[in-house]
Amino acid sequence: MEIVDKISLKYLTERRNKVNTKDPEDYGESALTHFLHNNKNGVSSFFKEDAISFTQEALQQLKPKEEISYEIAHKALQTDLFAPIEVPFLAVKKPKFQFIDLFAGIGGFRLAFQNLGGKCVFTSEWDKEAKRTYLTNFGELPFGDITKEKTKSFIPDGFEVLCAGFPCQAFSIAGKRGGFDDTRGTLFFDVAEIIKRKQPKAFFLENVKGLRSHDKGRTLETILYVLRNDLGYFVPDPQILNAKDYGVPQNRERIFIVGFHPSTGIDSFNYPKPIDKTVSFADVKEADVVPTKYYLSTQYLKTLEEHKARHASKGNGFGFEVIADNGIANAVVCGGMGRERNLVFDNRITDFNPTTKIKGEVNRDGIRKMTPREWARLQGFPDEFIIPVADASAYKQFGNSVAVPAIQATARELLKTLKFI
């Protein structure tokens, strides 16, 4: 078979997915995109076999009358069959180090480490919609469930930094000294296991502030015990950083844990100092917001007010706040009433015809929800970051993500300590 024209990867994948029902155990497209991104840096062998099989299957569907052998597919891949993927955040040309991105979400860690000259050589995220956002922006489809041995088998050797914003879970240590085996069955176990197998020079873990007090402090204690005693890394005391101290108008506290391999000889580390920059919501506010999408109806605003009053009297629960232009937002979070926690006042409402219906009449006070782009900006994602998903998914993804500037400031210190930059 002669393959003359370049094939668009997107075209091929869409065509294939139309034919096959999407199999969650399907590693082909992830392997192919990872292969294409790593064909000149010595790690492509980890993805090669599955990338060829995927290409074979996809080409066969494209050319049903011809027989596409494994060899043909292999040759096709070697001859740059695929047109270059156009994405806003391409890998750096001459990387200073390699890293892997676990629990990748939409790639907040990746953005930060890529900005500092790193090359991502493996990524894993199992949420379908988050994967779509990731692929659209970085051109690489994350592998899925990281607890699966098959997924782990794709992780290349020799990368320098492991990044993971893993979900927080309790360990059933039942009074024992919390060690590696006691964490089995949790996602931290998988992170620790990958560190143990691959021995990266450093890691950077991120979690909610509540990790400190989770299970009366036992969860964090176990994590540190495993990282320090079982894995032998130098792990300075974890630090809580607030996104607002690193250039975005969001009050978001998260715990950061970094560690250095014993072979580095590193035995001290300083987390970054807050930067001297005042920012407020006005800096991220969108100018042209679609009224019917984001302004609240009078009725809904009333419901929120009543809800807030009811819970305030009990001293707990949900409360929204109207963020002033010169104020800063509460942490953006997904789930529950996360989207309604931060409302904004937008006096453009005065130009807006109040008879337009938004499930009832629009409120006259100019109160609206923040937009997904505003959430992106609150997390420090640049405007080139494409939001390819529906609003509901976008809020979830940015709420789950990280404040990129705080991650980047810490990553810079970590890489300076390692003398990579």
Ligand X SMILES: C[S@@+](CC[C@H](N)C(=O)[O-])C[C@H]1O[C@@H](n2cnc3c(N)ncnc32)[C@H](O)[C@@H]1O
Positions touching ligand X (CB under 6 A) are 103-109, 124-127, 130, 145-147, 165, 167, 187, 400-402
Q: Please report the DSSP string for 265-329 in residue order.
A: ------PPPPPS----GGGT--SS--HHHHBPBHHHHHHHHHHHHHHHHHT-S---EEE-TTS-E
Query: Count of residues for the chain?
Result: 421
- C-alpha 125/C-alpha 129 separation (Å) is 10
CB 247 within 8 A of CB 279: yes
| Cβ at position 122, least distance to ligand X in Å | 12
CA atoms within 13 A on the CB side of 111: 26
Task: Give yes or no: 120 in active site.
Answer: no
Radius of gyration of the chain (CA): 24
CA atoms within 13 A on the CB side of 93: 0
Q: Which is nearer to ligand X, 106 or 349 (CB)?
A: 106
Q: Which is nearer to ligand X, 110 or 368 (CB)?
A: 110
Structure tokens at 118: 């790193």
| Cβ at position 111, least distance to ligand X in Å | 8
Q: Of the listed 120, 163, 168, 334, which one is catalytic?
A: 168
CB 176 within 8 A of CB 145: no
| Cβ at position 273, least distance to ligand X in Å | 23
Kindly tell me the number of DSSP H helices and DSSP E strands found in the chain: 15, 11
Q: Which is nearer to ligand X, 108 or 249 (CB)?
A: 108
| Cβ at position 274, least distance to ligand X in Å | 21
Q: Which is nearer to ligand X, 39 or 147 (CB)?
A: 147
CB 121 within 8 A of CB 159: yes
Neighbours of 271 (CB within 10 A): 17
Q: Which is nearer to ligand X, 124 or 219 (CB)?
A: 124
Q: Which is nearer to ligand X, 58 or 414 (CB)?
A: 414
| Cβ at position 231, least distance to ligand X in Å | 20
Closest CA to 99 of 43, 165, 56, 162: 162
Q: Which is nearer to ligand X, 191 or 266 (CB)?
A: 191
Q: What is the sign of the dihedral through the CA atoms of 390, 130, 133 and 394?
A: positive
Tell the residue number behind the tokens 């699966």, with chain if given.
Answer: 148
| Cβ at position 190, least distance to ligand X in Å | 7
| Cβ at position 407, least distance to ligand X in Å | 8
- Which residue's CB comes closest to ligand X? 105
Residues 6+ apart with CB under 8 A from 350: 366
CA atoms within 13 A on the CB side of 63: 13
Residues that are catalytic: 168
